[in-house]
Structure 1
Amino acid sequence: MLDANLKKQLDTYLQNIVTPIELSVSVDDSPKSKELSELASEIAEMSPKIALNWIEAERTPSMSIAQSGVPPRISFAGLPMGHEFTSLVLALLQSGGHPSKADPALLDQIRHLTGEYHFETYISLSCQNCPDVVQALNLMATLNPNITHVMVDGALFQDEVEQRQIMAVPSVYLNGQPFGQGRMTLPEIVNKLDAGAGKRKAAELSEKEPYEVLIVGGGPAGAAAAIYAARKGIRTALVAERFGGQVMDTMGIENFISVNYTEGPKLVASLEEHVKEYDVEVFTEQTASGLSAATAEGGYTQVELESGATLSGRSVILATGARWREMNVPGEQEYRSKGVAYCPHCDGPLFKGKRVAVIGGGNSGIEAAIDLAGIVEHVTVLEFADTLRADEVLQRKARSMPNIKIIKSAQTTEVRGDGKKVVGLTYTDRETQESKQVDVAGIFVQIGLIPNTDWLKGGPVTLSKHGEIEIDSRGATSLPGVFAAGDVTTVPFKQIIIAMGAGSTAALGAFDYLIRTPAPQSADTETKAVQQSTEPA
């Protein structure tokens, strides 16, 4: 089941098991059961601290992990390979007493959660977002005896997927009810369960002293800006919804210079590790909501957060990136995650054997169609223009595949559904103005990105007609002391490596601004100056 290289790596990890653990495996005569049986047996043979039990469980095939003599609280329904193999390894280690590297305060918060929490997470093995959720919930189950978690491979347990109308992964259920969809970090999940955590965090952030460089955004641009700023020895902080931004949703990266191939989550992990090498304060699970200009030259610019907190900086770098552009047609929001999807790698396996549509004929759209064609019954690509924008090599590949149909000059006008899920779409033939329909179970929207600047509209920073932040060659915006970088700006090419360069430029621009602009006096200094000016001569 495991190749020699994987076995060698796993053997190294298993040396970290401190407390004996048990694998409880439920299988039948199916091929996947045979694979899981082989996997469990190989793992058990690799360590004297791992015992193997054969049981009958509610879901088959499945494997539970627990300390010896303790009822299992972590289960994998399906074969935890692909992106979930790391989740399996971590579950083995953490169940065996190997400590987590998460924030100790957060771990203590999990241990003190009260109530009963029984989580189920539906995933696909090709989903790069799912492991973060699975690993977070597994860790919580390890720490708190009132928490259990089951990972369910949606492609293997199709009946459950159909019954619960799951059309996007990861989909998390808590005590049988929907809890959340899409990427969620450990702090996000914990804060959702601990109602008072958000207010406590906001109060803590508001007490922070002003920074010399405050970076808003945790993608490649923000990470590069943080590294370059910190290397100058100045007080630096980074605040973001999540570290990695859109790169976390990127599967294959083949144009990052000096690296032949990597994947988004792997690149983000390296970026985060690099940032942590420096004295940078990083605050995640925080969304910017407003920007207030400094009241005087060299003063502090304030960034308001949705949590109610406010952070200040002598200079600010805006690197909030971009998000998937939506079609903005009737039915899109109603059926989002019920057939309308934006990540073919994540959600494609849920549409195995079904008919789907891809909206957009650029590189991302045609790549999505090619990927999906190997999973689904048929793919219909709809492109608004009369020509495709994708590279010719991708177009040739798509045309060579018998289950891909490309329709050009097609304007999507409506997502159709039956109240529970997508059943098709309506489009207008722009040449004949005729309205037509396509029956599909899923619609993958791949029509580009839109800058995350809604929170800046009407504020002191000038935006372009496309909503992008206007910058000069140094990354400076129209507001003194405020810089910007990456996909959120007017930089014409939205690429990871360009965003990193832009983040570095903005940090150097901010540093140049700081050394040329007098620092504001502290409140104590101002008070002393006033007192001295009023003392009798």
Structure 2
Amino acid sequence: MLDANLKTQLKAYLEKVTQPFEIVASLDDGAKSRELSALLHDIVGLTDKISLREDGSDARVPSFSLNRPGADIGLRFAGIPMGHEFTSLVLALLQVGGHPSKLGADVIEQIKGVRGEFLFETYFSLSCQNCPDVVQALNLMAVLNPNIRHVAIDGALFQKEVEERQVMSVPSIYLNGEVFGAGRMGVEEILAKIDTGAAARDAEKLSAKAAFDVLVVGGGPAGASAAIYAARKGIRTGVAVERFGGQVLDTMSIENFISVPETEGPKLARALEEHVKQYEVDIMNLQTAEKLIPAKNPGELHEVTFTSGASLKAKSVILATGARWREMGVPGEKEYKAKGVCFCPHCDGPLFKGKRVAVIGGGNSGVEAAIDLAGIVAHVTLIEFDSQLRADAVLQRKLHSMPNVKVITSALTTEVKGDGQKVNGLVYRDRNSEELHTVDLEGIFVQIGLLPNSDFLKGTVELTPRGEIIVDAKGQTNIPGVFAAGDVTTVPYKQIVIAVGEGAKASLSAFDHLIRTSAPA
């Protein structure tokens, strides 16, 4: 099952296992059970600390649990955790085997202190780069607290279950049989939802913090770069982030980040965060900016408030809040989001195997999505507003070579249709004839660009009609001491490498502002 190179790497990791445990597999005579059995035999053959039983009786087949003698650990994989989930498997083996987590001691104690009965079920796909964060978070929580149990389920392998629960996007998380959430979540976000007093306690702690010299709002490439450059100046630096990595987390393949020939978005996001953590930077997670209150007079502090109720003050602020997926804004879109309306073909594509889908948008992202999906689904209809596709010629040639793709140009999507539970079609208007047409389908992937995350700045910082923050050559906004960087600004060409440079520039400009107006703390 595992090649020689992977076995060598895994053997080195398994040397960190200190407490013996067993894997209990539930199998049948099917091909997938044989495949899982081969994987598990490979694992136990690499260490004497792990044993294997194949007499499990779980209803989900194939599946396996990790059980430590004397400990009540509710951790199960339903499916074969390869692809993006192989890392989740390795971490689960290490953590059940006694290897400590890198989580902070306060978060670990919070997890251990959670009371109640929590059975989490997470549906993932092996091609989803967002799913491992959820799977790994819940697995760790299950290792640390016997009240928390978790089953990670490969949606492509358990199609009947997916259809019964009408799972239309991954990761989809259920708690005690009810929908708990969808999309990327980390330990702190999950804790905030099940430990109801946590958010208020955290907000109180944040509001009590001393003022920062530089407060960076946003943790994408621009925000990470700004934080590093500020911290290297030896000044008090804070980063308030909704999720570290920003849009990079939703990027499958990155091949144009200079000096890194090829990587994946989540991997780069983790590297950015680890780099920031090398410095004395106060990272504050799960913080969504709500309002900027600029200093009224020179020498006074700027203030940023957050939806959590927290409030932070700083001598200078760098806004690096990035951008989000642009929505179509048509009837039915919001009602059927995650019920057939999707934004990540890599994550959710496998759930539409053998079904009909549409891709909205004829730029590079849209055409790449259509090509990707054409290898999975029964049929793809690509709908483009313009009279021609805008993607690179090489992508267009590849698209037109695929027999199960239909391209419709000069078309405006006007409505998403559904049966009350899930998408069953869309309506578009032919911009030449003005006729309305209906396309019967099960999924819609929206790929029409990004919108800047600047709504909270309206009425304070000067914005363009599109909502981009207007900055000068130094990243300065119209407010002295408030700077901005990355995709949220007017800087052209929304690229990771440009955002990193702009973050550094804004940080240097903020430091220059500080030394000219006040002595840093």
TM-score, normalisation: structure 2: 0.99
Give the structure 1 partner of residue 149 of structure 2. Answer: 148
Give the structure 2 partner of residue 525 of structure 1. Answer: none
In the TM superposition, residue 330 of structure 1 has moved relative to its aligned partner by 0.3
Give the structure 2 partner of residue 130 of structure 1. Answer: 131
Q: Deviations over 1:117-150 (max 9, x none)?
A: 0110000010000000000000010011111100
Confirm or deny: 8 A CA contact 1:298 1:481 kept in the other structure.
Answer: no
**Does residue 10 in structure 1 map to residue 15 in structure 2?**
no
Counterpart Cα distance in 2 of 1:243 and 1:505: 20
Counterpart Cα distance in 2 of 1:81 and 1:412: 37
Give the structure 1 partner of residue 471 of structure 2. Answer: 471
Give the structure 1 partner of residue 432 of structure 2. Answer: 431
Give the structure 1 partner of residue 225 of structure 2. Answer: 224
For structure 1, the 5+ residue unaligned runs are 523-537
Counterpart Cα distance in 2 of 1:184 and 1:24: 28
Counterpart Cα distance in 1 of 2:205 and 2:480: 28
Amino acid at match of 2:388: T
In the TM superposition, residue 53 of structure 1 has moved relative to its aligned partner by 0.7
Amino acid at match of 1:462: E
Amino acid at match of 1:472: D
TM-score, normalisation: structure 1: 0.96
Counterpart Cα distance in 2 of 1:484 and 1:66: 50
Counterpart Cα distance in 2 of 1:252 and 1:328: 28
Counterpart Cα distance in 2 of 1:19 and 1:198: 35
4+ runs deviating over 6 angstroms: none
Give the structure 1 partner of residue 480 of structure 2. Answer: 480
Give the structure 2 partner of residue 85 of structure 1. Answer: 86
In the TM superposition, residue 72 of structure 1 has moved relative to its aligned partner by 4.6
Counterpart Cα distance in 2 of 1:31 and 1:256: 40
In the TM superposition, residue 255 of structure 1 has moved relative to its aligned partner by 1.1
Identity, % of aligned pairs? 64
Correspondence 1:495-514 to 2 at 5 A? 495-514=495-514
Q: Deviations over 1:188-237 (max 9, x none)?
A: 00111111100100000001111100000000000000011111111100
Counterpart Cα distance in 2 of 1:453 and 1:295: 21
**Does residue 185 in structure 1 map to residue 186 in structure 2?**
yes
Give the structure 1 partner of residue 390 of structure 2. Answer: 389
In the TM superposition, residue 518 of structure 1 has moved relative to its aligned partner by 2.9
In the TM superposition, residue 56 of structure 1 has moved relative to its aligned partner by 2.2
In the TM superposition, residue 269 of structure 1 has moved relative to its aligned partner by 1.0
Give the structure 2 partner of residue 235 of structure 1. Answer: 236
Give the structure 1 partner of residue 356 of structure 2. Answer: 355
In the TM superposition, residue 258 of structure 1 has moved relative to its aligned partner by 1.7
Q: Secondary structure at the match of 2:58?
A: coil
Give the structure 2 partner of residue 37 of structure 1. Answer: 37
Give the structure 2 partner of residue 283 of structure 1. Answer: 284
Give the structure 1 partner of residue 21 of structure 2. Answer: 21
Amino acid at match of 1:470: I
Residues matched between the structures, number: 520
Confirm or deny: 8 A CA contact 1:229 1:507 kept in the other structure.
Answer: yes
Q: Deviations over 1:26-62 (max 9, x none)?
A: 1112211111000011111111111111122110000
**Does residue 310 in structure 1 map to residue 305 in structure 2?**
no
Give the structure 2 partner of residue 490 of structure 1. Answer: 490
Amino acid at match of 1:233: G
Give the structure 2 partner of residue 527 of structure 1. Answer: none
Counterpart Cα distance in 1 of 2:398 and 2:233: 48
Q: 1:52 to 1:381 in 2, by over 3 A?
A: same
In the TM superposition, residue 70 of structure 1 has moved relative to its aligned partner by 4.3
Give the structure 2 partner of residue 195 of structure 1. Answer: 196
**Does residue 295 in structure 1 map to residue 268 in structure 2?**
no
Give the structure 2 partner of residue 98 of structure 1. Answer: 99
Amino acid at match of 1:367: E
Amino acid at match of 1:276: K
Confirm or deny: 8 A CA contact 1:298 1:519 kept in the other structure.
Answer: no
Counterpart Cα distance in 2 of 1:326 and 1:228: 34
